[in-house]
Amino acid sequence: MKLQYKLYLFFTAVVLVPLVVATVTASLILERSSRESYENRISSAMAAALAVVESDARKLSGDFSAAIETTDLAAVATGSASEQQAILNSIMSRSGASGVVIVDSAGNAVTGAGSGSAGEPALPHIASTVTLGPAEARWQIRAFRTFDADALSNIFSSQELEWGILRDGRAQVGSLEAGMEPAPLAGMDGAAGDRYFRARIDGRDYLSSSIRLPAAITSQEAVLFTGISTDVVSAASIRVLMMGAVFALLVVAAAGSLGFLMARNITGSLRELNAAIAAGIQGDLERRVEVRSGDEIGSLAGSFNKMQDSIVRYIADIEESRGQLLLALSYAGDILGSTADRKRLLEVTANAAMLATGAKGVWVESFAPGWPEEGRAQPDPSWPAGRPPSAGMAQENVTMGVPEDFFSGATGEAAHMLALDMAISGGARKVRRLENGLEMSAYPMLKDNQIHGALVAVATGPLEESRQRILTSLTIQAASALENLIIGDLQRHLAITDPMTGLYNFRYLIDSLGNELERSRRYEHPAVLAIIDLDDFKLVNDKYGHPAGDELLKAVAEILKANIRRADIVARYGGEEFAVVMPETNKEAALGVMEKLKRVIAGIKLENYPEVRVTASIGVAGFPDDADNHTDLLARADEALYLSKKAGKNRVTGA
């Protein structure tokens, strides 16, 4: 059986049948229900009326007490009748009372004003009494206020009820004619709505109820009475019965039509949803279902549409991640192939990190050591893994995708501090939230427990675990590439460095001399080559041993490095000979520098061999005056050195 027919049967069984049964049952109890509705109307009206009376009584009491507080009570007790009359008029005016009376200890009225001028009013009133202070305990002042007939009339008339305030069983105030006597009067005590009875008034029967007003409220014993004609109750019951029957028929018809439409709507929406699901299975992820309502069917359609949107976004994210991963892998090859250029290596690593993770910015910092030919200090061998670089470490960095004003302070300051913090902590990944809601995370470039640098990524939130793995992989490859670069730099350094003195060797000297002469020729600058030979060095080795000779060579090398310019090149020429290339220097200036070096060398005192003394013979040749190529310049400087030796050593000679 189709779902549509099942819904018809279900609706008939669950809705229509119970509705018919309920209509028949309602018809049987309608008479009783109608009477109960009028009883409830009477009860609510009585309760509201009593609340009005009690409210008026509280207001009178409050206003009366306020007026008494500002009244000279001693004058009330001791004043003359005219003075008392004036005081009572004032109290009556300020309290809004309709009458005020002074009563002595015997309950007799001494004097009064308004409706209480002769004692208790003729009709029941709301009353409030104040006893004077201890010194005047025999006096009382009592205030009266008429019932708010308009307010009570509004309450009862809105419910179509007759009412009255009865004294001695007869109507005094209300819609009942004065003097009418509802009968029977028995049973007219009790709270509002506690008891309902029939009363005959002027030949008509009433459904009635009454309540005796509390003695604390009224000046005299009184009863609040209300009722409605039984003819009205019966006519209303018949009308309600007829209207109920018509209404039941209309409801059955409307319910049947609504059931048909609902069943058709539900099955139609489900058919459309099923068709969209089938299309999605076939790959049509653009198919959507129209949301026609806010019920569960509409919610199901909306959820299906959101699911389709999520699938489309998920596939797009997968495609984007796939593209980023492919680019990252492509850049990874570039990283490993970029070992010849440290700056390029850092740039490639930063680009790969941005493409692979979608970060807003990347900061890559290298802690790799520099080498003398780059104008940097020697690496500090005392720096172990997991500690920040010392003054002997050269630091390089590359910033990708980060605006100049992105970090607080100088560009990259925050990333640099995070990288150092990570290095101090031994290479652990560090995360820091920025004031602008972004998040920085630093990843160490680790190789064999040695930190070669750090990669700092800036994103709008925490990076996904998959992207963290990509960054970790990139930093591992970058660390390997940096280590290869360091090894290559070390090999090149060893190839051009004299292991004894740490100066450049003869090979580097020849290459550098040729380059400097070519540069001097291009820009028409002079240049000088000086060759320094230690006099009688063989005697030092023979007399004090080779360790003394080695220490002497190292001391001379340190003097040369300390007394030449940064742009000059100093090298070990061979044995006990040294060479100095001085770009953009004429021969006269170079001779002066060499004279100074000769004196400093003559003053050397070795720590372990204080008795050793040495002098130096120096030959100086200039470009282009003495030679126009490096071969001839070496020969002229060597000839000048020979002349220094021949002339007695410990002297400087120009070519």
What's the CA gap between 324 and 319, in Å, rounded?
9
Residues 469, 480: Cα–Cα separation, whole Å: 17
- Please name every residue paired with 604 in a beta bridge, in sequence order, or none if there are none: none
- Paired tokens of 555: 């001391």
What is the longest distance spanned by two Cα atoms in the chain?
Answer: 166
* Nearest residue to 147 (alpha-carbon basis) of 129, 159, 165: 165
**DSSP track, 94-132:** HHT-SEEEEE-TTS-EEEEEETTTTSS-SS--EEEEEEP
272 among known catalytic residues: no
Backbone angles phi, psi at 573, to 5 degrees: -80, -30
User: What are the residues whose beta carbons fall under 8 Å from the beta carbon of 426, sequence distance 6 or more?
Assistant: 385, 386
- Contact between 501 and 572 under an 8 Å Cβ cutoff? The reply is yes
Distance separating alpha carbons of residues 384 and 387, to the nearest angstrom: 6
The catalytic position among 576, 588, 595, 639 is 576
Residues 221, 59: Cα–Cα separation, whole Å: 20
- Who's near 482: CB < 8 A, 6+ residues apart? 342, 345, 366, 368, 445, 447, 452, 453
**555, 578 contact by CB (below 8 A):** no
Give residue 151's region: left, alpha or beta (phi > 0; psi -120 to 50): alpha
**Residue 396, strand partner residues:** 366
Q: How many CB atoms lie within 10 A of CB 78?
A: 11
- In this structure, which amino acid lies at residue 251? V
Kindly report the backbone phi and psi dihedral angles of residue 525, in degrees, each rounded to the nearest multiple of 5, phi listed first: -105, 150
H or E element at residue 638: helix 630-646
Nearest to 53 by CA among 163, 195, 170, 213: 213
Catalytic residue positions?
576
